[in-house]
Amino acid sequence: MKTRAAVFRGAGQPFEVHELDLEEPRAGEVLVRMAAVGICGTDLHSVKGEWNRPTPSVLGHEGAGVVEAVGEGVSSRRPGDEVVLSWAPSCGECEDCRRGRPARCVTLNRAIAASTLPDGSTGLSLDGETVYRGTATGALAERIVVSERVALPIGEGIPLEQAALLGCAALTGVGAALFAARVESGSSVLVVGAGGVGQFVVQGARIAGAAEIVCVDPLQARREVAARLGATRVADPDELKGLMKAEFPDGVDYAFDAVGDPATTETAFRWTRSGGMCVIVGLPAAGKRLDLDPVDFVRRERVLTGTIYGSADPAVALPVLLEHVRAGRLDLASQLGPSFPLDGINEAIAAALAGSPGRVLVTP
């Protein structure tokens, strides 16, 4: 069958929309008609040339849609089911998979580096040439074939444009606070970066009951959204030092780097109190390194760690997030930015690169 998709050929080159050949769903796979796909920082790493992955490829890994057809033996999903994609189609058999941490699966991570599915295939081609799939997914397309295990049902009542955000930014950001750091009620939190993921870290910290949530971002529009979502104080990067010295001279209990650059990690770690925890949430560009002083870990007993995909199994964490959405504790609507059709992919990428305060969506 055929599907239209946004094809990425390399950094600095515009995306092209092509009609690709798409293989029918095999046993255990489902065909999903994509409704909305968010542009994530991970996609932008490829766009900016900060990661080198095979091309031509279809990027996009944060999306929601409707199951259109199912392959042989699929009983857990039916045509018409509304689903969120997980970008972790892991092997299901290794130690990490069995421990409920599919995003750590070595087979999956090899596939992500190769821009294929875990079995090495992509099921996509253009005039006979293989087309690769970003983050083992490739969602910037009208139709996509994925394992039934990563087409996660969302049930009724959540618009698909909002549901798309659950697939990466929300699971990652809320999970960082709830499952990776396990923020304690009454604690103090610093969130560095109020982009798509950072806003969800703020909400996760609020849901966990943090008493103080400081959010720092250079863009005022983002700071305003963070303040509405639960940040008790917001600051420009230039104002942060003064604010912290006045209000949290010993640092905060939990600091999150939602950007993933050594400079932002340094900021988050600097303001982590003795015995506190600093969590890197954003993925750094390839080759970046941190400069660390071991005394921070010995004398000050600080913990520096990272989290991938919310440190949880998306199939288990998604229902938790859906409960928070339905109870009004987790807001998705305010996280939506401008939305573009598939043919507007280059405008969508430009809006995301410009730092849109809300998530930029493509609605194929």
What is the binding site for Zn ion (CB under 5 A)? 40, 42, 90-91, 94, 97, 105, 168
Minimum CB distance to Zn ion smaller for 57 or for 90: 90
With tokens 């299901």, the residue in question is 92
Report which residue type is found at 336.
L
Minimum CB distance to Zn ion smaller for 30 or for 40: 40
CA distance 210 to 213: 7
CA distance 55 to 186: 48
Instruction: Supply the minimum distance, in Å, between the C-beta of residue 97 and Zn ion.
Output: 3
Minimum CB distance to Zn ion smaller for 97 or for 166: 97
Instruction: Supply the minimum distance, in Å, between the C-beta of residue 320 and Zn ion.
Output: 19
Minimum CB distance to Zn ion smaller for 118 or for 276: 118
CA distance 64 to 37: 7
Under 8 Å between Cβ of 153 and 176 = no
Per DSSP (E only), the strands in the chain are 2-7, 16-22, 29-38, 57-58, 62-70, 82-85, 124-126, 129-130, 132-133, 143-147, 151-153, 188-192, 212-216, 233-235, 252-257, 272-280, 303-306, 336-340, 359-362
Instruction: Supply the minimum distance, in Å, between the C-beta of residue 214 and Zn ion.
Output: 24
Q: Is 190 exposed, middle or buried (0-12, 13-18, 19+ CB in 10 A)?
A: buried
Instruction: Supply the minimum distance, in Å, between the C-beta of residue 9 and Zn ion.
Output: 21
CA distance 242 to 46: 36
Using the 8-state DSSP alphabet, how is residue 178 labeled? I
Minimum CB distance to Zn ion smaller for 44 or for 303: 44
Minimum CB distance to Zn ion smaller for 5 or for 283: 283
Instruction: Supply the minimum distance, in Å, between the C-beta of residue 44 and Zn ion.
Output: 10
Instruction: Supply the minimum distance, in Å, between the C-beta of residue 94 and Zn ion.
Output: 3
